[in-house]
Amino acid sequence: MQKRGLTSGIILIIIGIILLLNKVFNLNFFSMSNFWPLFILIPGLVFEASYFLTKRNPGLLVPGGILTTLGLLFFFETFTNWQFAAHTWPIYPLAVAIGLFQLYLFGYQQKGLLIPVFILGGISLISFAIMIMNDFFWWINGSLLIPALFILIGIIVLFKSFSKNN
């Protein structure tokens, strides 16, 4: 009975803290517009826990990995008002790669599972790299760096041509 009281007390304190933070900082945490990713995250965590508690049926890790990854992504997107959605889309194929990789690690370790893992993971990583490169080059093109570089190189060329003539 002591353990049940301790657990109940901790849960009530956590709920109270969340409600207090909700009121003080106007987080609106307990609204359905912020809460819906739990309907994806909780089943994913249940699949994961089902395997790790019983160590039977590693096939549960595939939907567990996919749903857990997507649930966490949707929480991030919800709390950032989806402003990064154009940059986080590669996580969708990565979620499938994570689920399959968990099956490989904790399951039968069939080498054939690594093919879709590397394909999907590679697509995700290459997509992230291309987006980062595009953002970087946009920053360079949108800044004064390129014109300043041309001016600096022009000054160096002029000084070298003057020094050769004298």
Query: Can you give the pLDDT at residue 29?
Result: 64
Local confidence band at 111 (pLDDT 50, 70, 90 cut-offs): very high
Give me the pLDDT at residue 99, please. 96
61-86 pLDDT, tens digit each: 999 999 999 999 998 998 888 999 99
With vertex at residue 27, the alpha carbon angle to CA 42 and CA 34, rounded to the nearest 5 degrees, is: 35
Give the sign of the dihedral formed by CA 97, CA 98, CA 99, CA 103. positive
The model's confidence at residue 13, banded by pLDDT at 50, 70 and 90, is confident
Token pair 């919800």 is found at 78
Cβ atoms within 10 A of the Cβ of 107, count? 17
The residue type found at 127 is S
State the distance between the two ends of the chain, measured CA to CA, in whole angstroms.
97
**Extents of the domains making up the chain:** 1-30, 31-165
pTM for this prediction: 0.68
